């Protein structure tokens, strides 16, 4: 089986050192395995994605010395395909429309503590609504309890990252009480969340290994459940360490000071970037004998 991996940035800001690490690691591992490295542009969030950021992604990755198969899959060109999959879940009774705003959800959750910004687990205010009641501006949520009932066997995955190594069974309890009824269809009609689009494309592109940051570790059980519901294979996951700033905080898109473009402008070389993120010098394929 060919090793196929991908780097899947959302063009909503500049790539920073964390992205460089992710892309370089995936690229190196693909080359070591004589496999394939894909670049996928995850631009389904049309309100935030910008073509200028997409162009900067190509430019930065080229400069880092990465090569990838073309044409690149741009998710904004495939919304209809994703929406069809979402509707297939709706046909099974697993999706419902939701008009709640964040403030409704906060108000419905018991005694939120001041200053605590724990992720909001949706309290199910719209759970009884049929699909036929969807209005413009409604999101579409997965009915998690029902989705879990649909699985004919426990959902498992193989993780080979530093956080965990080995096969694991996804926790139903965490899915119900931490993930909850995730949004799969965004407010804009026919736009699905990246969680679902990524699952559909990882299967469509026959990705065997998902290599990405540990910040997405908690998203994986939901994606595995979606794979099972849709009859799609589950790739091997590798959630790598995060690159942090001097204060130990994980880098975010707004950390322009650590943008690859900024280091380039200041005269850094691609080798300097590899060193900054703690990667060995460029992997060179041994001469074919």
42 binds ligand GLU (CB under 6 A): yes
- Please say which residue, 10 or 227, places its beta carbon nearer to ligand GLU: 10
Nearest distance from residue 10's CB to ligand GLU, in Å? 4
Token pair for residue 137?
């501006």
- Please say which residue, 194 or 283, places its beta carbon nearer to ligand GLU: 194
- Please say which residue, 168 or 205, places its beta carbon nearer to ligand GLU: 205
Q: Which of 284, 286, 262, 285 is nearest to 273 (CA)?
A: 262
Nearest distance from residue 135's CB to ligand GLU, in Å? 28
- Please say which residue, 143 or 238, places its beta carbon nearer to ligand GLU: 238
- Please say which residue, 48 or 92, places its beta carbon nearer to ligand GLU: 48
Nearest distance from residue 129's CB to ligand GLU, in Å? 29
Nearest distance from residue 93's CB to ligand GLU, in Å? 27
- Residue from 38, 49, 94, 198 touching ligand GLU (CB under 6 A): that is 198
- Please say which residue, 57 or 139, places its beta carbon nearer to ligand GLU: 57
Sheet containing strand 183-185, edge to edge, reads: 95-98, 139-142, 183-185
Query: What are the angstrom distances between the C-alpha of 199 and each of 4, 8, 102, 282, 286?
Result: 15, 12, 25, 30, 34
Q: Does an H or E element contain 185, and which? A: strand 183-185
- Residue from 186, 212, 238, 258 touching ligand GLU (CB under 6 A): that is 212
194 binds ligand GLU (CB under 6 A): yes
Token pair for residue 166?
């080995």
Sheet containing strand 236-240, edge to edge, reads: 73-74, 36-41, 4-7, 209-213, 236-240, 156-160, 165-169
8 binds ligand GLU (CB under 6 A): yes
Strand partners, 171: none
- Residue from 10, 191, 193, 227 touching ligand GLU (CB under 6 A): that is 10
9 binds ligand GLU (CB under 6 A): yes
- Please say which residue, 95 or 196, places its beta carbon nearer to ligand GLU: 196
Helix (H, G, I), strand (E, B) or coil at 160: strand
Is residue 243 within 8 A of residue 38, CB to CB? The reply is no
Nearest distance from residue 53's CB to ligand GLU, in Å? 11
Secondary structure letter of residue 50 according to DSSP: -
274 binds ligand GLU (CB under 6 A): no
Please list, residue by residue across 223-240, b when 16 or more beta carbons sit within 10 angstroms of its beta carbon and e when fewer do.
bbbbbbbeebebbbbbbb
Q: Return the range that interacts with ligand GLU (CB under 6 A); candidates 5-13, 65-73, 184-192, 262-270.
A: 5-13
Nearest distance from residue 216's CB to ligand GLU, in Å? 6
Q: Return the range that interacts with ligand GLU (CB under 6 A); candidates 2-10, 100-108, 124-132, 238-246.
A: 2-10
Query: What are the angstrom distances between the C-alpha of 155 and each of 70, 159, 165, 210, 264?
Result: 33, 13, 17, 17, 44
Is residue 76 within 8 A of residue 43, CB to CB? The reply is yes
Binding interface with ligand GLU (CB under 6 A): 8-10, 42, 194, 198, 212, 216
């Amino acid at each position: 089986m060919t090793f196929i991996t991908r780097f899947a940035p959302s063009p909503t800001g500049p790539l920073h050192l964390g992205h460089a690490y992710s892309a370089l690691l995936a690229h190196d591992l693909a080359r070591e395995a004589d496999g394939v490295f894909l670049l996928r542009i995850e631009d389904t969030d049309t309100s935030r994605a910008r073509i200028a950021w997409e162009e900067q992604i190509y430019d930065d990755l080229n400069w880092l010395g990465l090569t990838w198969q073309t044409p690149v899959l741009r998710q904004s060109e495939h919304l209809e395909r994703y929406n069809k999959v979402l509707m297939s879940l709706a046909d099974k009774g697993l999706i419902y429309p939701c008009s709640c705003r964040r403030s409704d959800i906060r108000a419905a959750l018991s005694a939120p503590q001041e200053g605590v910004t724990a992720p909001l687990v949706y309290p199910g205010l719209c759970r009884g609504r049929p699909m036929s009641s969807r209005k413009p501006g409604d999101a579409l949520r997965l009915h998690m309890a029902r989705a879990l009932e649909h699985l004919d066997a426990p959902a498992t995955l193989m993780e080979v990252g530093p956080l965990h190594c080995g096969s694991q069974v996804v926790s139903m309890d965490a899915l119900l009480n931490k993930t909850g009824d995730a949004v799969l269809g965004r407010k804009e009609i026919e736009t699905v969340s990246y969680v679902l689009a990524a699952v559909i494309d990882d299967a469509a592109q026959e990705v065997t290994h998902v290599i990405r940051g540990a910040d997405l570790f908690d998203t994986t059980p939901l994606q595995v459940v979606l794979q099972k519901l849709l009859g799609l294979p589950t790739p091997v996951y590798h959630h790598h360490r995060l690159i942090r700033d001097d204060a130990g905080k994980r880098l975010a898109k707004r950390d322009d000071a650590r943008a690859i473009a900024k280091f380039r402008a200041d005269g850094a070389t691609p080798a300097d970037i590899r060193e900054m993120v703690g990667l060995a010098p460029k992997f060179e394929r041994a001469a074919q004998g």
